[in-house]
Homo-oligomer: A and B are copies of this chain.
Amino acid sequence: MVTALVFITTERTRINEVAEKLVEIKGVSEVYSISGQYDLVAMIRVKENDEMAELITSQLAKVEGITDTETHIAFRTFSRHDLEHMFSIGFED
């Protein structure tokens, strides 16, 4: 699993709207509206690097209401949870 965290700044009045559009994109597993200088952080979890490239440079770019994004690729994931298992066997409600 390839994971990335995308720090997102949105237009002031579209924070929740952007978050809802993002989670509809396959590969976006969670989106948090957060305190501080960024508005949202999106967690991207996909199988292949190419999927990540496509999602970041094309799909994300098409979501309206975003003013800036800063992507951070995860080198390693440390957790007592089996995240690969949790997020890949469709824990979607």
State whether A77 touches B31 (Cβ < 8 A): yes
Closest chain B residue to A61, Cβ basis: B13
State whether B77 touches A41 (Cβ < 8 A): no
* Distance between Cα atoms of A49 and B3 in the complex (Å): 11
- Identify the interface centre among A29, A41, A79: most chain B CB within 10 Å of its CB: A79
Q: A80-B93, A81-B29, A81-B92 are in contact. Are A34 and B66 (CB under 8 A)?
A: no
Partner of A30, one of B70, B75, B83, B85: B83
Q: A5-B41, A35-B73 are in contact. Are A78 and B13 (CB under 8 A)?
A: no
A-B contact pairs, 18 of them (CB 8 A): A2-B49, A5-B32, A5-B34, A13-B61, A23-B80, A31-B79, A32-B75, A33-B57, A33-B76, A36-B36, A36-B37, A36-B70, A49-B49, A53-B76, A56-B75, A73-B73, A80-B92, A82-B93
